[in-house]
Structure 1
Amino acid sequence: MIVQEAFLEEAFQGSPYRRPIVGYPDDFLGLGRREVEGFFKARYRPEKLTCAVVGEVDPEEVERLAMKYFGAWQPANRAVTPGLDRWLPVEGGELLEQTAPREVRMVLPAGPYLQEGYRRPPTSDPDSIVLDVISDVLNGGRSARFQKNLVEPGKALYSSLADTFPQGKLSNLFMVAGVPGKGYSTDDLAKLMRQELNAFSENGVEEKELARIKKKTRADLLSLLASNSTMANLLCSYHAKTGDFRNLFREPLRVDQVTSEVVKRVAQKVFNPSNRTSGHVLPP
């Protein structure tokens, strides 16, 4: 938690994502019943709620019950939090300016460990689907590049990736992480992972990799249709983050439209050294 807090503070200067979800220890010292009630009344409002009903139901009956129990719940007329507009989705997918790499280094018994995040647009941006494709190429199974080029040769004991971190509503991070193998340092692993990312900027992606991911995307969507709870969760998530729940079903078509040149363009924009925040956990 110490490492993650320091990393978030460095990477998300001026963003709500800078704060831990539950806040800082000092926040609890001034927290009483009045503050909790005030927060609940201000934040738990109908305009902030997204609800999905999935299954064999009567839409008219669902609407009738919703109006009966929630119809009197009125939204608040609240403005955007000052400063938050800098992190909201913008036309063209522009990223907040970060003019130089940022870095956090800590010495802890848990080391060694490396994580690096690159500023990326929110999930509502058209380029987000391209970053999903890059994520699958790098870390989507045993045939992925991180596994073949880093883990299997012993350069990394472990590698992971989160194409949206910590959340996707606002501008966030494309995050890679790992534990260096025997004889390798976190700096060595950082160099190796950057080489893998730079390969997209220089060469795009191979057609056979694209074909595998396009097939996998369609299969994944079909498997999700088998679970009502999973489908309801995804419908809410896509509607809240992208503005339209239908984007869930449009995703296979959008992936089909991704080409190697598109991957190269997005990689050049996102995987820029000045756009990077690094976190190194070093052993004592």
Structure 2
Amino acid sequence: MRSLNIALGAATFLLMSGAVPALAEVFGAKETVLDNGMRIVVVENHRAPVVTQMVWYKVGAMDEPPGRSGIAHFLEHMMFKGTDSLEPGEFSAIVARNGGQENAFTSQDYTAYFQSVSSDRLDLVMELEADRMVNLNIAEEQFELERRVVLEERRQRVDSEPASILSEQVSASLYRNHPYRNPVIGWAHEIETLSIDDAVDFYRTYYAPNNAILVVSGDVDANEVFAMAEKYFGVLDPSEIPERPDYREPPMTVETEVVYYDPRVRQPSVTVRKLAPSWNTIEDRSETYALDVLSQIIGGGSTSTFYRSLVIDRGVAVNAGGWYDGDGRGPGTIGFYISPADGVSLDQAEAALREEIAKLLTKGVTEFDVERAVIRLQDAAATARDSLSGPAMTIGRALSTGRTLEDVEEWPDRIGAVTVDQVNAAARKYLSAPGEVVSRLLPEGGEKGAGQ
């Protein structure tokens, strides 16, 4: 079963970034661009004789044609079903025989494929990836078989999970115009109508070296990797990638409530979501760094201000916090959540949550809050270089959503430059803006276990 990464979220990027004055001193990434436009990035790490290869395609669910939701994820599955020279499943079998591990994931913004193997097997897996970039062979039998697999995956990941069911409906309410409103895995009724032609068209349109990034991290020499990439990927012809629509959300001026009752719910919750800028949708990107710091302050686990106040001090919740996600190609979000403690109704919990939001807006965060958040964000990457797959994940995700290596390298400095005034200004600007989506997850027939 191929993994479906619907939302890596801001946490991955933050976790892997920061700890030293410049991220280049952590990863020491080296980069080149092939003549056909494919970008190659290498992070040398000689701690162990292993390597992670990741190929990132700058295409995801948000690029799907109307009425064809799920085709990006469906194609991810089909990429393992054979090429002109490989039988279905042979790609994975070769990787396994050589002691490697491999998988793939699809998001709204990108699709990525990776293998972790011993360093002397990099040549093999690179050849395999280059082959399926241009030589995919989709057979009708395999396509129909995989349709059943994808529909079953949807049943397991979405239809059997009340929180996932609610999340889909919330996205459809939050985004009025942007394709983020559609689930990455696709709507079931549209998955059922997807055709081989849909998959082939999507593949031929977006799977090309000039729409891809190769990131290699591990026990390798950068120049040798560049030469290897030239050998396998450099001979592939680029394609004309269509210009992407400039999707923009209209101003949100209404409050929307989405409520889902399900007997499988054991812990009620309420979540408040608002649209926010992302790194790609705003000119003054300093605001996004301020919101990153705010996210750590309000949602950084058991030490966050909201958790301490609502769970530890007031005892009205078993969990509470907030987040900001501004890493995608489309609009970002900022939000808050709370799950009531025993004896506390969901209405009471929501009232307490809104009191904390009001306090944030009136009193603001403190200099101490900001300093502590910045230190934690930077310290989180103290062991980043010890990870073999972490650098490939961090860099690939950043580059595939529009950033440069310089943006990645300077991230800790930019976070370190955030001031308390900037955090408070960003919080007030975006949390005071009109419009929000409030979602409530409840057991069927009421708030069982929530104190009613």
Deviation at 1:24, TM superposition (A): 0.5
Q: Provide closer, same or farther for how the CA distance between residues 150 and 68 of structure 1 changes in structure 2, counting only shifts above 3 A.
A: same
Deviation at 1:272, TM superposition (A): 2.4
- The match for 1:39 is 202
Q: Secondary structure at the match of 2:216?
A: coil
Q: Secondary structure at the match of 2:279?
A: coil
- The match for 1:259 is 419
Q: Secondary structure at the match of 2:424?
A: helix
Alignment partners' CA distance in 2, 1:29 and 1:62: 41
Q: Provide closer, same or farther for how the CA distance between residues 207 and 16 of structure 1 changes in structure 2, counting only shifts above 3 A.
A: same
Of residues 395, 400, 417 in structure 2, which corresponds to 1:240? 400
- Residue type of the alignment partner of 1:108: D
Cα distance per residue 1:197-221 (max 9 Å; x no partner):
3333333321112221222222122
Alignment partners' CA distance in 2, 1:236 and 1:97: 31
Of residues 320, 329, 338 in structure 2, which corresponds to 1:159? 320
Question: Matched residue pairs, number?
Answer: 274
- The match for 1:217 is 377
- Residue type of the alignment partner of 1:157: V
- The match for 1:196 is 356
Q: Tell me whether 1:62 sits opposite 2:221 in the alignment.
A: no
Q: Provide closer, same or farther for how the CA distance between residues 39 and 86 of structure 1 changes in structure 2, counting only shifts above 3 A.
A: closer
Q: Provide closer, same or farther for how the CA distance between residues 273 and 101 of structure 1 changes in structure 2, counting only shifts above 3 A.
A: farther
Alignment partners' CA distance in 2, 1:79 and 1:171: 21
Displaced runs of 4+ in structure 1, greater than 4 A? none
- The match for 2:260 is 106
Deviation at 1:56, TM superposition (A): 4.4
Alignment partners' CA distance in 1, 2:297 and 2:271: 18
Cα distance per residue 1:57-110 (max 9 Å; x no partner):
3333222211211123333323334xx4134xxxxxxx7511122221222221
**What is the aligned-residue identity percentage?**
23
**Alpha-carbon contact 2:306-2:322 (below 8 Å) kept:** no
Q: Provide closer, same or farther for how the CA distance between residues 185 and 74 of structure 1 changes in structure 2, counting only shifts above 3 A.
A: farther
Q: Structure 1 length as normaliser, TM-score?
A: 0.87
1:5-20 to 2 correspondences below 5 Å: 5-20=168-183
Q: Secondary structure at the match of 2:198?
A: helix
Question: Please, which moves more after superposition, 256-265 or 234-243?
Answer: 234-243
Q: Provide closer, same or farther for how the CA distance between residues 24 and 60 of structure 1 changes in structure 2, counting only shifts above 3 A.
A: same
Cα distance per residue 1:229-272 (max 9 Å; x no partner):
11121111222234212323322211222112111111122112
Q: Provide closer, same or farther for how the CA distance between residues 86 and 227 of structure 1 changes in structure 2, counting only shifts above 3 A.
A: same
Alignment partners' CA distance in 2, 1:19 and 1:225: 36
**Alpha-carbon contact 1:164-1:173 (below 8 Å) kept:** yes
Q: Tell me whether 1:226 sits opposite 2:386 in the alignment.
A: yes
**Alpha-carbon contact 2:324-2:332 (below 8 Å) kept:** no
Q: Secondary structure at the match of 2:404?
A: coil
Q: Secondary structure at the match of 2:380?
A: helix
**Alpha-carbon contact 2:307-2:321 (below 8 Å) kept:** no
Q: Secondary structure at the match of 2:272?
A: strand
Q: Structure 2 length as normaliser, TM-score?
A: 0.56
Of residues 340, 343, 346 in structure 2, which corresponds to 1:186? 346
Q: Provide closer, same or farther for how the CA distance between residues 277 and 222 of structure 1 changes in structure 2, counting only shifts above 3 A.
A: same
- The match for 1:92 is none
Alignment partners' CA distance in 2, 1:279 and 1:26: 24
- The match for 1:91 is none
Q: Provide closer, same or farther for how the CA distance between residues 275 and 45 of structure 1 changes in structure 2, counting only shifts above 3 A.
A: farther
- Residue type of the alignment partner of 1:31: L
**Alpha-carbon contact 1:235-1:245 (below 8 Å) kept:** yes
Q: Provide closer, same or farther for how the CA distance between residues 250 and 196 of structure 1 changes in structure 2, counting only shifts above 3 A.
A: farther
Alignment partners' CA distance in 1, 2:242 and 2:435: 30
- Residue type of the alignment partner of 1:37: V
**Alpha-carbon contact 2:270-2:440 (below 8 Å) kept:** yes
**Alpha-carbon contact 2:298-2:323 (below 8 Å) kept:** no
**Alpha-carbon contact 1:198-1:271 (below 8 Å) kept:** no
Q: Tell me whether 1:120 sits opposite 2:276 in the alignment.
A: yes
Q: Provide closer, same or farther for how the CA distance between residues 207 and 242 of structure 1 changes in structure 2, counting only shifts above 3 A.
A: farther
- Residue type of the alignment partner of 1:154: G
- The match for 2:238 is 75
Question: Please, which moves more after superposition, 178-187 or 8-17?
Answer: 178-187
Of structures 1 and 2, the larger Rg is shown by: 2
**Alpha-carbon contact 2:365-2:423 (below 8 Å) kept:** yes
Q: Provide closer, same or farther for how the CA distance between residues 185 and 246 of structure 1 changes in structure 2, counting only shifts above 3 A.
A: farther
Deviation at 1:171, TM superposition (A): 0.5
